Amino acid sequence: MKPPSPIRLREVWVIMFLLGVIMINYPFVHIFNKDILIFNYPLLFLYFLIGWPASIVVVYFFSRYAMDEPQEEHEPDEQEKDGPR
């Protein structure tokens, strides 16, 4: 499998950053800011308590995947195989 290009990795990191910013901005915070208690905790508190670590785990697994890509090995040229002349 080919390693991902640096431009593609950069695009994915930008998308992850934007999704994180969107998660903590008005529309989503407003959706979860209700007077609902789950296990005696407000819904907004649980949203941040679960959403923040979940986003960290996603970034962690993505970075591990990006680092574990096999590196292409350098194959010697014909001149390198024969040695110096």
Tens place of pLDDT for every residue, the chain, 85 residues? 566 677 777 888 888 899 989 999 998 899 999 999 999 999 999 999 999 999 999 889 888 877 776 555 555 556 555 556 5
Give the integer Cα–Cα distance in Å for 77 and 34. Answer: 67
- 77, HSE (Cβ side, Cα atoms, 13 Å): 3
Phi, psi of 63 (to 5 degrees): -65, -35
Task: Return the ∠ at Cα 10 (arms to 3 and 1), rounded to 5°.
Answer: 10
Quote the pLDDT of residue 73: 52
Quote the pLDDT of residue 35: 94
CB 44 within 8 A of CB 32: yes
Domain boundaries, the chain: 8-69
